[in-house]
């Protein structure tokens, strides 16, 4: 292994997250309960440091490090920036919920560790690193979901753990099969080995391996945990688990699919079918929901379907940049919607939002922008993300999938409007919104508009590729 191949500075963003988690844990261990908030300072500093160093390193050459087990390319650079930024938003909307709690520091540490796992998941260029990243991204998530230690949180954490354990073992089975047939775990060597592998073994390895990544992304058929965990967890934890793990999982899935030879296994058709099922079943289930959190839970399943469209055409020049932009747009928009829920936690049904617009217009404006943004309404960022993904998918020869996605986008407007309508109607005034979460929601609403308006320059920056 060359000295350049062992470059520790290449992993500075990941090191910031790891060291930040350790320092935050140690800081919180020596603070009394009423001063646990101070432990958030090193966490925020670590996340900010990860973003800055990731932006600096993104200007470097595309390469792999540590015996070509970890890739430094457009996908990894995007994950290094989007995931810590999303984690900062989660910490901001969780201020009120965490303040004065005995396990306040624990929540922050779990956010950092799960974020680190998601980043490594996106950059993994070796099956063994992928497996370790999957565990690192999953185990802290179980703790986040059950953080409140109430019956609902315990039930949600148990469901998430059982499904994660089952599909994690299935993923390890896939890694074993692919290693046995391909003769390697590093992607660059595995691609050559799989070109002559038996079709049956190749298909088994692919399906088993995708099971774990689809679980992390919350896609069909590994989606059953999403609505229950979203409702059972605290709002900040729900915001995290419906956003950040998806970023790492989808980028990892995209990178992995490029390893498989198209003439040996029909991975494009499989991914396209999973995308169609995810967006359709997610939308159909969301129609009848009256709980805002459960509605957003099913909404995230449908959003994964649209994101999987880019994975179905993995390898095309415009597929990766479309996926990366859509992930950034989805992250800020989805977190903005959850921030509204965190600002008014006493509103437990869609109808209870009646009168919000009259008494809290800025918060309602943020809600409307984020919900219409999730539909894909211009000039929001998700509109540009969907447009670029749809165009790339059409050019990739999957016109039928674009047609299904367009119909689902139109249908999704119905259940988002079921939330918007009472919010903009007149009604009695309720308790004052929580200021930190409210400010976070408004900032996210503004950010999704800015990202949509400045999409051209951002997309030009993303004109990069993968390496393995």
Confidence grade of residue 468 (pLDDT, cut at 50, 70, 90): low
pLDDT value for 136: 96
pLDDT value for 155: 92
Residue 32 predicted with pLDDT over 50: yes
Per residue in 271-288, pLDDT tens?
Answer: 999 999 999 999 999 999
pLDDT value for 180: 94
pLDDT value for 148: 87
Per residue in 224-233, pLDDT tens?
Answer: 999 999 999 9
pLDDT value for 33: 77
Residue 59 predicted with pLDDT over 50: yes
Per residue in 232-244, pLDDT tens?
Answer: 999 999 999 999 9
Residue 217 predicted with pLDDT over 50: yes
pLDDT value for 263: 86
Confidence grade of residue 2 (pLDDT, cut at 50, 70, 90): very low
The whole-angstrom separation of Cα 377 and Cα 65 is 41
Per residue in 381-405, pLDDT tens?
Answer: 999 999 999 999 999 999 999 999 9
pLDDT value for 1: 42
Confidence grade of residue 313 (pLDDT, cut at 50, 70, 90): very high
Three-state SS string over the chain comes to CCCCCCCHHHHHHHHHHHHHHHHHHHHHHCCCHHHHHHHHHHHHHHHHHHHHHHHHHCCCCCEEECCCCEEECHHHHHHHHHHHHHHHHHHHHCHHHHCCCCCHHHHHHHHHHHHHHHHHHHHECEHHHHHHHHHHHHHHHHHHHCCCCCHHHHHHHHHHHHHHHHHHHHHHHHHHHHHHHHCCCEHHHHHHHHHHCCHHHHHHHHHHHHHHHHHHHCCCCCCCHHHHHHHHCCHHHHHHHCCHHHHHHHHHHHHHHCCCCCCCCCHHHHHHHHHHHHHHHHHHHHCCCCCHHHHHHHHHHHHHHHHHHHHHCCCCCCHHHHHHHHHHHHHHHHHHHHHHHHHCCCCCCCHHHCCHHHHCHHHHHHHHHHHHHHHCCCCCHHHHHHHHHHHHHHHCCCHHHHHHHHHHHHHHHHHHHHHHHHHHCCCCCCCCCCHHHHHHHHHHHHHHHHHHHCHHHHHHHCCCCCCC
Confidence grade of residue 101 (pLDDT, cut at 50, 70, 90): confident
Least confident of 125-129, 165-169, 406-410, 454-458: 454-458
pLDDT value for 5: 57
Locate 91 and state its tokens: 């910490």
Least confident of 9-13, 100-104, 330-334: 100-104
Mean pLDDT, residues 347-352: 92
Mean pLDDT, residues 20-41: 88
Mean pLDDT, residues 183-192: 92
Residue 247 predicted with pLDDT over 70: yes
Question: What does pLDDT average to over the chain?
Answer: 93
Per residue in 43-57, pLDDT tens?
Answer: 999 999 999 999 999
Confidence grade of residue 411 (pLDDT, cut at 50, 70, 90): very high
Per residue in 70-92, pLDDT tens?
Answer: 999 999 999 999 999 999 999 99
Per residue in 135-185, pLDDT tens?
Answer: 999 999 999 999 988 898 999 999 999 999 999 999 999 999 999 999 999
Mean pLDDT, residues 432-455: 95
pLDDT value for 380: 96
């Amino acid at each position: 292994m060359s000295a350049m191949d062992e470059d520790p500075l290449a992993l500075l963003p990941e090191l910031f997250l790891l060291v930040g988690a350790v320092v935050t844990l140690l800081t919180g261990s020596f603070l009394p309960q009423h001063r646990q908030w101070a432990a958030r300072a090193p966490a925020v500093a670590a996340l900010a440091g990860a973003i800055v160093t990731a932006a600096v390193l993104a200007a470097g050459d595309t390469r792999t490090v540590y015996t070509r087990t970890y890739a430094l390319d457009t996908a990894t650079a995007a994950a290094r920036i989007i995931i810590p930024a999303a984690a900062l938003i989660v910490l901001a909307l969780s201020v009120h919920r965490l303040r004065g709690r005995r396990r306040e520091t624990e929540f922050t540490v779990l956010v950092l560790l799960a974020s680190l796992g998601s980043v490594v998941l996106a950059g993994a260029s070796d099956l063994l690193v992928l497996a370790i990243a999957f565990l690192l991204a999953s185990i802290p998530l179980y703790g986040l979901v059950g953080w409140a230690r109430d019956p609902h949180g315990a039930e949600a954490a148990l469901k998430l753990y059982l499904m994660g354990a089952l599909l994690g073992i299935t993923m390890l089975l896939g890694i074993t099969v692919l290693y046995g047939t391909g003769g390697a775990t590093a992607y660059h060597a595995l691609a050559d080995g799989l070109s002559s592998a038996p079709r049956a073994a190749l298909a088994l390895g692919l399906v088993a391996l995708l099971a774990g990544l689809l679980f992390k992304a919350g896609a069909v058929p590994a989606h059953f945990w999403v609505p229950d965990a979203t409702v059972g967890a605290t709002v900040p934890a729900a915001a995290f688990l419906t956003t950040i793990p998806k970023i790492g999982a989808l980028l990892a899935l995209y990178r992995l699919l490029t390893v498989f030879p198209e003439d040996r296994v029909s991975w494009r058709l499989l991914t396209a079918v999973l995308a169609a099922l995810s967006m359709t079943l997610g939308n159909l289930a969301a129609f009848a929901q009256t709980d805002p959190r459960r509605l957003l839970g099913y909404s995230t399943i449908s959003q994964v379907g649209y994101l999987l469209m880019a994975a179905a055409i993995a390898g095309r020049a415009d597929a990766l940049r479309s996926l990366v932009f859509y992930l950034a747009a989805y992250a800020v928009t989805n977190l903005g919607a959850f921030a509204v829920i965190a600002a008014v936690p006493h509103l437990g049904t869609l109808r209870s939002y009646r009168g919000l617009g009259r008494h809290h217009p800025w918060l309602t404006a943020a809600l409307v922008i984020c919900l219409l943004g999730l539909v894909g309404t211009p000039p929001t960022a998700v509109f540009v993300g969907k447009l670029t993904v749809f165009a790339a998918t059409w050019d990739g020869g999957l016109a039928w999938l674009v047609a299904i996605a367009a119909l689902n986008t139109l249908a999704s407007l119905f259940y988002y409007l079921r939330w918007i309508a009472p919010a903009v109607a007149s009604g009695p005034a309720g308790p004052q919104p929580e200021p930190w979460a409210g400010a976070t929601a408004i900032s996210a609403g503004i950010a999704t508009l800015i990202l949509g308006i400045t999409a051209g320059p951002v997309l030009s920056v993303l004109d990069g590729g993968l390496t393995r």
